[in-house]
């Protein structure tokens, strides 16, 4: 005999996931309201719409807190780190983006240039490179510092690496010192993109692009790159490469023909870099300080660094929530880079 189940009513579905999503959205809303409220309060505390702009442009004449770092003497040197990937735009976090490292470096160089007591910069490089324009901006700022006064000099201390854009920045120095285990070089330019045409055809995804010209969607990941487009891109790469090569020729005592043979993107350990005159010396921090004092014509130097601590108002104006589920789709794009990317 067939028996019906004792209870044929389906079990109710769990709503835990739904309420977790609602709770997270509510939390995000509360955080956003709190940040906006704090911003309004901070603005009112500074006078509302009638903010005191001060007597000088703060980006042109930055006033930074100084910290005595090393050594002592009447002549001042400033140590400035160039660490990580050289790129405009801060690193994305849960609360938005961190400070722009390139702007921070440029501010420190300007502050040192505006200080009559500063005779030297010590640029501490530990970078695989980064954006073409970002690297060039730092290089140009260092050149302006040297040109601002005849007695000003720049030494460069290479820690783990000065590759590609990191080396681009380094060649602005008057003297380059690398640690025995440093990696130097990777002179070249790279542009990378993924092509997903084959995959999209297999899974049935089609690209719909409305454009004004044949090259408007250059490097579209859903289309093949034509020979003509590849030639256009290669022309751009060659122009940026020749600029890099020219700056190295200006800054380093290397024969032009020999340099072109070295500048194929390869990297060098410190001994090789010294042999090829890509650097001037192998040493450590004490050697850097001693050489900087020697180049400045001084027995000793007082080395300082800048301590940048944003106030609450500055922090609020840069913090933002980034909860868009599609933001990752736009996080990377093809770009010209002086970057060592193994």
Q: How far, in Å, CA of 43 to CA of 39, rounded?
A: 6
| Per-residue pLDDT at 41 | 58
Q: Which residue has the higher pLDDT, 46 or 274?
A: 274
Catalytic residue among 32, 46, 148, 216: 216
| Per-residue pLDDT at 141 | 98
Of 127-131, 196-200, 328-332, the least confident: 328-332
Using a 10 angstrom Cβ sphere, with 0-12 exposed, 13-18 middle and 19 or more buried, the burial of residue 29 is exposed
* pLDDT above 90: percentage of residues in the chain: 54
Position 108 pLDDT exceeds 70: yes
For the chain, how big is the Rg over CA atoms in Å?
27
Catalytic residue among 127, 164, 186, 270: 164
- Catalytic, 76? Answer no
Q: How far, in Å, CA of 224 to CA of 195, rounded?
A: 7
Per DSSP bridges, beta strands 129-131 and 118-127 are unpaired
| Per-residue pLDDT at 3 | 52
CA distances from 69 to 5, 77, 115, 122, 123 (A): 80, 10, 17, 12, 14
Q: How far, in Å, CA of 273 to CA of 254, rounded?
A: 11
The conformation of residue 218, written as its DSSP 8-state character, comes to T
Strand, coil or helix: 183 = strand
Q: How far, in Å, CA of 22 to CA of 208, rounded?
A: 34
N-to-C CA span, the chain? 72
Q: Phi-psi category of 164—alpha, beta or left, where left has phi over 0 and alpha has psi -120 to 50? A: left
Position 282 pLDDT exceeds 50: yes
| 320 — pLDDT class (breaks 50, 70, 90) | very low
- Catalytic, 216? Answer yes
| Per-residue pLDDT at 24 | 74
Mean predicted confidence (pLDDT) in 178-190: 96
Of 56-60, 116-120, 140-144, the least confident: 56-60
Strand, coil or helix: 68 = strand
Q: What is the largest CA-CA distance in the chain?
A: 108
| Per-residue pLDDT at 17 | 67
Mean predicted confidence (pLDDT) in 143-148: 98
Q: Note the pLDDT tens digit of each residue in 240-256.
A: 999 999 999 999 999 99
**Average pLDDT of the residues of the chain:** 83
| Per-residue pLDDT at 330 | 41
Q: Which residue has the higher pLDDT, 74 or 287?
A: 287
pTM: 0.78
């Amino acid at each position: 005999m067939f028996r019906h189940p004792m209870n044929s009513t389906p079990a109710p579905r769990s709503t835990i996931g739904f309420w977790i999503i609602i709770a997270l959205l509510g939390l995000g809303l509360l955080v956003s309201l709190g940040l906006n409220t704090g911003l309004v309060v901070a603005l009112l505390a500074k006078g509302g719409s009638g903010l005191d702009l001060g007597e000088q442009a703060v980006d042109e004449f930055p006033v930074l807190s100084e910290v005595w770092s090393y050594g002592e003497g009447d002549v001042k040197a400033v140590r400035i780190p160039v660490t990580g990937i050289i790129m405009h735009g801060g690193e994305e976090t849960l609360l938005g983006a961190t400070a722009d490292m390139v702007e921070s470096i440029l501010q420190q160089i300007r502050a040192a240039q505006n200080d009559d007591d500063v005779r030297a910069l010590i640029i501490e490089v530990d970078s695989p490179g980064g954006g073409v324009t970002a690297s060039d901006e730092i290089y140009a700022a260092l050149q302006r510092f040297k040109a601002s006064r005849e007695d000003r000099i720049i030494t460069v201390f290479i820690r783990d690496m000065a590759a590609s854009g990191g080396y681009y920045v380094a060649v602005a120095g008057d003297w380059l010192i690398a640690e025995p285990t440093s990696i130097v070089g990777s002179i070249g330019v790279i542009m990378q993109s993924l092509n997903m045409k084959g995959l999209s055809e297999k899974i049935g995804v089609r690209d719909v692009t409305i454009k004004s010209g044949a090259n408007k969607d250059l490097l579209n990941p859903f289309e093949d790159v034509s020979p003509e487009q590849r030639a256009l891109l290669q022309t751009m790469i060659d122009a940026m490469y020749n600029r890099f090569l020219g700056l190295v020729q200006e800054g380093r005592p290397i024969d032009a023909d020999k340099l072109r043979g070295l500048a194929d993107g390869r990297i060098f350990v410190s001994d090789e870099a010294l042999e090829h005159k890509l650097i001037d010396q192998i040493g450590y921090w004490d050697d850097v300080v001693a050489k900087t004092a020697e180049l400045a014509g001084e027995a000793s130097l007082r080395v300082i660094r800048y301590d940048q601590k944003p106030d609450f108002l500055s922090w609020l104006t840069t913090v933002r929530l980034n909860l868009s589920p599609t933001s990752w789709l736009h996080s990377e794009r093809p770009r010209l880079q002086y970057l060592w990317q193994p």
